[in-house]
Structure 1
Amino acid sequence: MMDALEQRLAAAPVVPLIGENDPARAVKTTQALADGGLSVIEVVMRSPGAQAGMEAILDQTEGLIVGAGTVLTLDQAKSVVASGAQFIVSPGLVDEIARYCIDEGIPFFPGTMTAGEVQRAYALGLRKVKFFPASLAGGVPMLKAFSSVFGEMRFMPTGGVSAANLPDFLSVPSVIACGGSWLTPANAIDAGDYAQVTALAREAVDIARKARG
């Protein structure tokens, strides 16, 4: 799965976050993102209906890679995998989730923001991690500093990433992709304006292509 995920992210290195309690709206939001060229989706487990939304996306769409974000415990990780999650993202590094994902062959992106956390992830056998919260944890300068000492590590900055600073993050060679919720604005989704979501996705894809040459 990691190989397929890497191929998708090489083509469009942006992972939109969907935080939606209504499965029908989650599906519509996902389709709007896919129409804009983004096919790797992170459904954040921050609300009671989020997992049902992820299940609906997996059931009602095709050709996408759909993962679960904001996974906090091992039990939750097992639950979302049972529901079909194809990758897992956490806000922090939890050893037992990392070991479970490695054993099961599930791509796992734990949140890291210090050298100690990145080194711990490396020691556990991970080579790709989330950098979170990116804007508060030092942004591009911190990523460059990490890259100089952790040559094998690849990062997915999330938290404070936007269309304005996306080129700066993607200019760092160790960045595999950027995650963000700016692509799924609540006001547009509340209004049923999925065309705006598609337009933001297309803009992100265009920015990424220019940034990556």
Structure 2
Amino acid sequence: MAKFSRIEVTLKMAETGMVPVFYHPDPEVCIQVLTACYNGGVRVFEFTNRGDFAHETFAQLLKHARTAFPELALGIGSIVDAPTAALYIQNGADFIVSPMLHEDVARTCNRRKVLWSPGCGSLTEISRAEELGAEVVKVFPALQVGGPEFVKAVKGPCPWSSLMPTGGVEPREENLKAWFDAGVHCVGMGSQLISKDIIAARNYGKLEEMTRNALGTIKRIRRK
């Protein structure tokens, strides 16, 4: 069962402004990455359903997080069908993220009042997702569908939309400023933050520092 309601997850996303996105088959690596991000200030983290037995790795990660990181909302991404969403909800996922819009996933999540964030690439898809109950809509692939200018254009006629671009977001001030000036709710960040080099070197101290710096940059941008 989810620890946090969909409204609580939505607020955590807004408060921190960034959701790291990560997958690795080794639970110990995942725990180290999660520890570094949490210590750096992250309070919402997306593990992705990318490999064999990913649900088993997620279950181990969630059990650790519930004890070690009480303020963390831990969700699952890359969910493409309702049965898989149900599997992760049973494993305690606090939110479900999809790369596309599937109504059966929405119905599954809504029955359990779990936040569902589908990937959308047009205003029509975003509007349909909101009609189906999505509190936060994932813009994906964010750079390819138009980047910050796309978000800005959507927010013009639909200022109530809460958008989370993923794909093409970087932990650089110039890049983050462009997204937040456009009006995003938060950003999703994967390999630009948690790089292959960091994982290969097991340089979790650097990851913690990069996370803290990125979150600090977001706070400064929002204050201006």
TM-score category of the 2 structures, normalised to the smaller one:
over 0.9
**Quick one: which of 108, 112, 135 aligns to 2:116?**
108
**Residue in structure 1 matched with residue 169 of structure 2 by the alignment:** 161
Q: After TM superposition, give the deviation of residue 52 of structure 1 in Å.
A: 2.4
Q: 2:13 corresponds to which letter in structure 1? A: L
Q: 2:23 corresponds to which letter in structure 1? A: G
**Residue in structure 2 matched with residue 17 of structure 1 by the alignment:** 21
**Quick one: which of 124, 139, 147 aligns to 1:131?**
139
Distance 1:49 1:186 in 2: 21
1:23-78 deviation digits (Å, cap 9, x = unpaired): 11111110010111112100011111432222122111222110000001111000
SS of the equivalent of 1:76 reads: helix
Aligned structure 1 segments of 4 or more residues deviating by more than 3 angstroms = none
- State yes or no: 1:99 paired with 2:129: no
- State yes or no: 1:4 paired with 2:14: no
**Residue in structure 2 matched with residue 191 of structure 1 by the alignment:** 201
**Residue in structure 1 matched with residue 213 of structure 2 by the alignment:** 203
SS of the equivalent of 1:108 reads: strand
- State yes or no: 1:40 paired with 2:50: no
**Residue in structure 2 matched with residue 69 of structure 1 by the alignment:** 77
Q: After TM superposition, give the deviation of residue 118 of structure 1 in Å.
A: 1.2
Q: Which runs of 5+ in 2 are unaligned?
A: none
**Quick one: which of 49, 54, 59 aligns to 1:55?**
59
TM-score, normalised to structure 1's length? 0.94
Distance 1:123 1:193 in 2: 43
Contact 2:10 2:135 in 1 (8 A): no
**Residue in structure 1 matched with residue 152 of structure 2 by the alignment:** 144
TM-score, normalised to structure 2's length? 0.90
Contact 1:24 1:53 in 2 (8 A): no
**Residue in structure 2 matched with residue 31 of structure 1 by the alignment:** 35
1:77-96 deviation digits (Å, cap 9, x = unpaired): 00111111110000000011
**Residue in structure 2 matched with residue 178 of structure 1 by the alignment:** 187
Distance 1:122 1:41 in 2: 22
Q: After TM superposition, give the deviation of residue 101 of structure 1 in Å.
A: 1.2
Q: Higher mean Cα deviation, 148-157 or 24-33?
A: 148-157
Distance 2:23 2:154 in 1: 30
The root-mean-square deviation of aligned C-alpha atoms, in Å, is 1.3
Q: After TM superposition, give the deviation of residue 210 of structure 1 in Å.
A: 0.8
Contact 1:127 1:152 in 2 (8 A): no
- How many residue pairs align between the two structures? 212
Distance 1:160 1:114 in 2: 17
Q: Higher mean Cα deviation, 186-195 or 62-71?
A: 186-195
Distance 1:48 1:166 in 2: 33
Contact 2:149 2:182 in 1 (8 A): no
Q: Which runs of 5+ in 1 are unaligned?
A: none
Distance 1:91 1:192 in 2: 28
